[in-house]
Chains A and B, each alone.
Chain A
Amino acid sequence: MLVTISRPLLWLFIVGAGFGSMVNIPATANYKQFLLPGIIGMTILFSSVFSSISVVWDREFGFLREMLVAPISRATIVMGKLLSGTALSLVQGTALLLFSPLLGVKLTVISFLLMLVFMSMLSIAITALGLFIASYLTSLEGFNVIMNFIVLPMFFLSGALYPMNALPNVLHWFSLINPLSYGVDAFKHILFSSGGMPVAEFPLLLDIGVLFIFSLAMIALATYSFERKG
């Protein structure tokens, strides 16, 4: 647990300290505060992807087959993996959230609960995406490719480190189709609501809608692809 949250904390304090002076953000926020929702998003991103990729691990070591030949539906397997991945991400995200007072971000009971809801939504969305990808991976070698070409760009283009508006046109488009952007944006809405800092870039309802529809689509695709390929 200590090890898993130490990485986001390193990001928060070291990258926060270095980038702070270079990035143009609305004057009222300090950069470490700006970074907090992004780093929570990053933690959820990595932990969700890792837990869904465990399907590939199970496949390589045969344990997946024990489940595939059992009289349970493929949807049950996908749901089980989805819930375990979400629970793990939620615990890690929450642990990080508890650091917010340290950065001067006010955390009320209501904003804490709202954060739990949105962190769950983001975790479900990312884990479902991971499961869909994992259903196509037959070996762990493919995992590095996924890390480099999907997970890292998703992180950098999510508005976690700098506002998406600051990105050049093409990259900005990528950030608009990135589910993580909407999760991080929702976090910004919740965490900075009292301070009135205009850091969020989409309406909150859009964030909720995108995460919801994206999750449903990914769950359906992952289930379908497990059904077909086993």
Chain B
Amino acid sequence: MSIIQVTDLVKKYNGLTAVNGISFEVKQGESFGFLGPNGAGKTTTINILCTLLSPTSGTAEVNGHDCLKHAHKVRSSIGLVFQDITLDNDLTAYENLKFHCYLYNMNKGETEERIEAILNVVGLYDRKDDLVRRFSGGMKRRLEIARGLLHHPKVLFLDEPTLGLDPQTRTTVWEFINNWRKKEGITVFLTTHYMDEAEVCDSIAIIDHGRIIACGTPEELKKMIRGDTVYLKTADDSSAMSELKETFGIKAAKLHDSISFNVESGDKFIPKIFEGLKTAIVSVNLKKPTLDDVFIHLTGREIREENGNKPGELLKMRRRG
């Protein structure tokens, strides 16, 4: 059963097309990664799904409700963690959560227990009466995620939830999200440009220039790159290369101190090299394709490139356009 259904969604701002006819679905209970460079249309899509923007054309449904016609029902079935902090700095952690309970009209008997439980999980119970103003970035994030989960949402939207956090905090934030996801069967919709965060998602859509260019599980996407890359260091590279060609029909590339070639599944192929090759092998290295490679394969550039203003980028984009 799909909990999010998007069909031919288009969003234009004053002649600029941010989202250009995208369609996808997210199944109940899975974690869905929405991946793409800055400005690709990720945040626009999330804003349409959480009823903050109305689409130019196309439809979006969350939990069976249309985002435009039944915004109210959509809003009560989702939780949100935005790119930037949306806590009230002048309230304490506890007050922020309490205000959230009022907004979502939660059962009074339940709220106290729920707030206490959730503050314990994010490790902020000791600080519950401190003003949010005094919290560090990581603490604010944890509190926001706690808040997003407070009202038992069906879908939790996370827009770049770990942007600007140190690696250690990123890990704790993720542990926390995943624990709660399993515990309460929540669907997680995540946008990110950190590839390692996307790797752990159940399924992924890659968006670029307002279009979805690939969709599937991380494994499926990586299969788009033909197999794995094997790096070999041998006593005699040129004889190893000719042997590879004769025995396995593989054309290897000569690198400066090693040779490399692509095979379908590298882990199964390596034992065969040891059996079949007469030339002495010094070292073997296997590189599995990453989502970064997938993105490069699909677009011809790296996902982080567009963050900077390199002159070459402009040229590339012009050529694409």
Interface residues of A (CB under 8 A from B): 61-63, 65-73, 230
Let me know if A69 and B72 touch, CB within 8 A. no
User: Of residues 33 to 75 in B, which have CB atoms within 8 Å of A's CB atoms?
Assistant: 50-53, 72-73, 75
A-B contact count (CB 8 A): 42
By secondary structure, the B interface counts as loop
**B interface, how many residues as a size bin?**
20 to 34
Let me know if B103 and A63 touch, CB within 8 A. no
Taking the closest CB of chain A, its distance from the CB of B146, in whole angstroms, is 13
Q: List residues of chain B with CB within 8 A of the CB of A61.
A: 85-86, 89
Q: List residues of chain B with CB within 8 A of the CB of A73.
A: 72
Let me know if B103 and A68 touch, CB within 8 A. no
User: With A230-B52, A230-B53 given, is the CB distance from A69 to B80 under 8 Å?
Assistant: yes
Q: List residues of chain B with CB within 8 A of the CB of A67.
A: 103
21 A-B residue pairs with CB within 8 Å: A61-B86, A61-B89, A63-B86, A63-B87, A65-B52, A65-B86, A66-B103, A69-B50, A69-B51, A69-B75, A69-B80, A70-B75, A70-B100, A71-B75, A71-B103, A71-B104, A71-B105, A72-B103, A73-B72, A230-B52, A230-B53
Let me know if A62 and B80 touch, CB within 8 A. no
Bound CA–CA A73/B80 (angstroms): 17
Bound CA–CA A40/B89 (angstroms): 31
Let me know if A68 and B52 touch, CB within 8 A. yes
When C-beta atoms are compared, the residue in chain B nearest to A230 turns out to be: B52
User: With A71-B104, A230-B52, A230-B53 given, is the CB distance from A66 to B86 under 8 Å?
Assistant: yes
The answer to whether the Cβ of B84 comes within 8 Å of any Cβ in the partner chain is: yes
When C-beta atoms are compared, the residue in chain A nearest to B88 turns out to be: A63
New A-B pairs, 20, CB < 8 Å, besides A65-B52, A70-B104, A72-B103: A61-B85, A62-B82, A62-B85, A63-B86, A63-B87, A65-B80, A65-B82, A66-B103, A67-B103, A68-B52, A69-B51, A69-B52, A70-B100, A70-B103, A71-B72, A71-B103, A72-B105, A73-B72, A230-B52, A230-B53
When C-beta atoms are compared, the residue in chain A nearest to B52 turns out to be: A230
The answer to whether the Cβ of B76 comes within 8 Å of any Cβ in the partner chain is: yes
Q: Which of A65, A66, A72, A230 is the most central at the interface, judged by chain B CB atoms within 10 Å of its CB? A: A66
Q: Which of A61, A63, A69, A73 is the most central at the interface, judged by chain B CB atoms within 10 Å of its CB? A: A69
The answer to whether the Cβ of B78 comes within 8 Å of any Cβ in the partner chain is: yes
Taking the closest CB of chain B, its distance from the CB of A72, in whole angstroms, is 6
User: Which 8 A-B pairs give the minimum distances between C-beta atoms?
Assistant: A62-B86, A71-B76, A70-B103, A71-B75, A66-B86, A62-B84, A63-B88, A65-B86
